[in-house]
Amino acid sequence: MPGKWKSMLPARSYGIRLLVLAILFIVGFCMQYKVPVFRPKEEHPINWSQKLVEKSIELAHCERKLLLNTQNKRKMALNVLTPWLAPIIWDGTYDINILDNQHNSTRIGLFVFAVKKYIRFLLPFLESAERYFMVGHNVIYYVFTDKVNEVVKPKMADGRILQLHYVVSDQRWQDVSMRRMEILTVFTKEHMANEIDYLVCADVDMVFNDHVGVEILGDLVATIHPAYFLSEKGTFTYERRPISTAYIPHGHGDFYYMAALYGGKVDEIYKLSMACRKGIVEDKKKNIEAVWQEESHLNRYLVYNKPTKVLSPEYLWDTNLPNGELIKKKRFLAVHKNHKEVRN
């Protein structure tokens, strides 16, 4: 019988047996010592805390380049975290794939005023938003204008809705700008509360120029003013007259925020707009107006109600500003305008 078996096996059977043994040995070894050859590939192999460290180092290089370290002071806007540990969003500090998945059923509003001559900025604003703003998500544009019939609708992707609302046109541009806070108090309470989860408020004389996505969403979000991101606190253009409700004493405040882009959960924007509106009305009674209108009131509110997320100047830029080489992505750009011409 053994002879029969032997004749049934090929001549190389000894070699094959050795090979099988070797494979079994290797498999056993790998299982014993947990060699990671059998582990499934991890879905998100990027180490994001490492990424943040790298971004911090990169921003510190920017700082050194500007010789800002002479007083051994860290420029706050060139950090990735605020002193109260809110993230400051720069390119490279977030993983858009993870965030897009988390927000796959999030509803986002974009609030904008286009009154009087500013109607000319609306179509380029909306068209650029279709290209770069929250692409792939559910978006409602809340457009407020005195010229509803003159609005040209852009070609819009699925899941995006344009709502047009009439608003009175104030004579002074300062009043148009401030009226946004009053409209916000009404709409965040009545309409938006059931329609959206987050609201983003923007100026219309702007165009999206690169990705602006769900990384900007948070409970209360504000953007660092691009003209003051390297400035000393003392030079911020906060309202400094104690008689105004927007007053911020010297030494208080963290950043100078720009009112051309901020946002948050709908109920947070309700609280914010109520506070700013109240301040504006109280000032008006005393016949005063804060130095930068609703932006001054917004800054006052944010000193005492810290934003949970801060956007770097990547999210608000004007190509006429200095230090543009420090800002790699210019995501939302001011359209250059003749101030006198558009405001009369």
Active site residues: 295
If binding means CB under 5 A, how many residues of this protein chain bind Mn ion? 2
Binding-site partner at residue 321 among ligand 4YA, Mn ion, ligand UDP, none, CB < 5 to 8 Å by type: ligand 4YA
User: Binding of ligand 4YA at residue 237 (CB under 6 A)?
Assistant: yes
Q: Of 272-311, which residues contact ligand 4YA (CB under 6 A)?
A: 292, 295
Binding residue (CB under 6 A) for ligand 4YA from 288, 303, 321, 333: 321
Binding residue (CB under 6 A) for ligand 4YA from 258, 269, 310, 311: 258
Binding-site partner at residue 290 among ligand UDP, Mn ion, ligand 4YA, none, CB < 5 to 8 Å by type: none
Dig out the tokens for 237 from the structure. 């253009």
CA distances (Å), origin 276, targets 191, 228, 252, 269? 20, 22, 18, 10
If binding means CB under 6 A, how many residues of this protein chain bind ligand 4YA? 11
Q: Name the minimum Å distance from CB 342 to ligand 4YA.
A: 10
Instruction: Give the residue with the Cβ less far from ligand 4YA, 156 or 321.
Output: 321
Instruction: Give the residue with the Cβ less far from ligand 4YA, 89 or 258.
Output: 258
Long-range contacts of 53-59 (CB under 8 A, 24+ apart): 54/92, 55/80, 55/90, 55/92, 55/93, 56/80, 58/92, 59/90
E strand intervals along 2-159:
88-89, 107-113, 138-145
Q: Name the minimum Å distance from CB 224 to ligand 4YA.
A: 11
Backbone angles phi, psi at 314, to 5 degrees: -55, -30
Contact in structure between 279 and 212 (CB atoms under 8 Å): no
Contacts of 52 (CB under 8 A, 6+ apart): 80, 93
Q: Of 67-126, which residues contact ligand 4YA (CB under 6 A)?
A: none
CA distances (Å), origin 65, targets 68, 231, 233? 8, 15, 21
Binding-site partner at residue 298 among Mn ion, ligand 4YA, ligand UDP, none, CB < 5 to 8 Å by type: none
Binding residue (CB under 6 A) for ligand 4YA from 51, 318, 324, 342: 318
CA distances (Å), origin 11, targets 7, 14, 15, 16? 9, 8, 9, 10
Question: Where does this chain bind Mn ion (CB under 5 A)?
Answer: 203, 205
Question: Where does this chain bind ligand 4YA (CB under 6 A)?
Answer: 225-227, 237, 258, 292, 295, 318, 320-321, 334
